[in-house]
Amino acid sequence: MRIAVLLRDRCQPRRCNLECINYCPPVRTGTETIVMGEEGRPVISEELCVGCGICVHKCPFDAIRVVGLPEELEGEIVHQYGVNGFRLYRLPTPHQGEVMGILGPNGIGKTTVISILSGETVPNMGKLKGKPSWNSVLERYAGTELHNYLSRIAEEDLRTSFKPQYVDKLPKAHKGKAGELLARVDESGKVDEISSEFGVSHTIDRDLAKLSGGELQRVALAATFLKDADIYFFDEPSSYLDIYQRLKVAESIQALSRTKQVVVIEHDLAVLDFLADSVHLMFGERGAFGVVAQPRGVRVAINTYLRGFLKEENIRFRERKIRFEAHAPRMEWSGQPLIQFEPLYKRFKGFTLKTSEGVIRQGEVVGVVGPNATGKTTFVKMLAGVLNPTKGKVEADLKVSYKPQYISGDIEGTVEDVLRKAAGTKYVENWYQAEIIEPLNVKRFLDRDVSILSGGELQRVAIAECLSRDADIYLLDEPSAYLDVEERLAMAHAIRRITKMRAVTAFVVEHDIVTQDFIADKLMVFSGEAGVYGHAGDPVSLEDGMNGFLKEMEVTFRRDQDTKRPRVNKTDSRLDREQKQSGRYYYSL
């Protein structure tokens, strides 16, 4: 086992008098384990570090981590971000005629893999001195299939097209109207055809800054398809899309892969299962190192990821398995009624919403599903009294805590400042740390400014802030965006525990079926025409709600026989036809 030391950017030696040096035994015996590097920050010698962990515990800023690296990775390093920085081991090899998926936690190097395979980053093979060159890379992979691919990248003989992860930043990178962006990147002469395929024809004359997250995602996908490339990269293509849109995008990507090479990073397991042909799992230590495992068939790969054990490599990368219930319908919750509402009607200019009557009980988590722009958020705002119904009445005087779909990072102060303000005196209580801070994994960046957080970090802070407030209703709009699989399920557990512990209600608007299956006691299904009208049924059991929703979407799901996770049936497959004929669109094993 070798030692790897990760020194984070939050190291502030002037404020701590270099306690890491003062308490390091090799330093005190005369060996320079820790020396001063650039910008007045320490550089830790990984060759001399004995992994005692004293510097880790003495650092007041949680800036140092000491991790073990498997010996078998020696000589397989692909890229390292400076001394004491993140390092990536191994690379996947794309193939024409299939969709290659990449699955792993955030901070494990997936985006770095795409950056190298697209030619944006020249890997340094772990050599930190001198400028990296493709010659040393090609020498390393001589005689392999990957050599042929990388040689084309090095010679700029391979055209690439890349759909970025954070589509909400698109308006800052490209000013103007959506149609202007699509015309600028069009290399295939199919703007009208592609715009129609992705449902963005109505956005052509609209400014990018005024588009919703789902519209930005579809514009970004259309722009990626319009480029005439040899290989296409899609980083989280399903964020902000409803289930119908996700599967339509998946079908388009599958069709593209028949003639092109395609690489996809995706955390929605149902979509990845439906979309990919093979999957490379990635494991390691978040922010420290990442390893690309050998390719597996999509079903085997996802089930292996859920078990947390790579049998062929004999590596356990997670202590516990991720488990799903064999029978998703939950026992009827016996809490007292919290919300009772009549049939509600709300009219805006150009949009109307009608809902059935219903009762929500204490401790229930109500999942909300349906196409985008059919009134889901409008409904909950009427329950909370933020909006008054045009007709109908809500029999309750309730406080609401709301996590919006689109989160702004333009907040002054640190993460701790934000959470202390929301939680008040609860912040210092043990249960708050155990039920919110720890499960949502925000402890390690409490001292960081909100303005510099990544998308996934910002999402977890927003969820923690929402759950920190005293409220009768917790409304969380797409809480899974930018979260990896483990973070999504941890978020689901946190919401369920808080809701039942406080005897309140949570409404979770979520398009990830796997996450919704984990979190919801009941389901409200919205239907209608986006931006024109919407209709919501009363809250029903998870099984009945999913069955009705998927019937309207004309999509069927089954349970995986080994892990019991929801899986999408291929359109017109035997199971798809059988389930549609029997009317069982969900939960069949």
Is it the case that residue 481 has pLDDT exceeding 50? Answer: yes
Mean of all residue pLDDT scores within the chain: 88
38 pLDDT tier (thresholds 50, 70, 90): low
Q: What is the DSSP letter of 571?
A: T
* pTM for the predicted model, two decimal places: 0.86
User: Is 325 within 8 Å of 301 (Cβ atoms)?
Assistant: no
Phi-psi region of 461 (alpha: psi -120 to 50; beta: other; left: phi over 0): alpha
Is it the case that residue 578 has pLDDT exceeding 70? Answer: yes
- Cα separation, 83 vs 80, in Å, equals 8
Q: List, as one string, the DSSP characters of 298-363.
A: HHHHHHHHHHTEETTTTEE--SS-----SS-PPPPP-PPEEEEE--EEEEETTEEEEE--EEEETT
Is it the case that residue 225 has pLDDT exceeding 90? Answer: yes
335: exposed, middle or buried (Cβ count in 10 Å: 0-12, 13-18, 19+): middle
Give 470's contacts (C-beta < 8 A, 6+ positions apart).
399, 401
Query: Which residue did the predictor score with more confidence, 92 or 552?
Result: 92
Q: Which domains does the chain have, with CATH numbers?
A: 2-69 (3.30.70.20), 77-316 (3.40.50.300), 337-541 (3.40.50.300), 554-589 (no CATH)
pLDDT in tens, 406-457: 787 677 889 999 999 999 999 999 999 999 999 999 988 888 889 888 888 9
238 pLDDT tier (thresholds 50, 70, 90): very high
Distance from the first to the final alpha carbon of the chain:
43
Q: Which two tokens stand for residue 42?
A: 């320490």
Is it the case that residue 577 has pLDDT exceeding 90? Answer: yes
The count of other CB atoms within 10 Å of the CB of residue 348 is: 11
399 pLDDT tier (thresholds 50, 70, 90): confident
Q: What is the mean pLDDT of residues 313-331?
A: 74
pLDDT at 175: 87
pLDDT at 328: 47
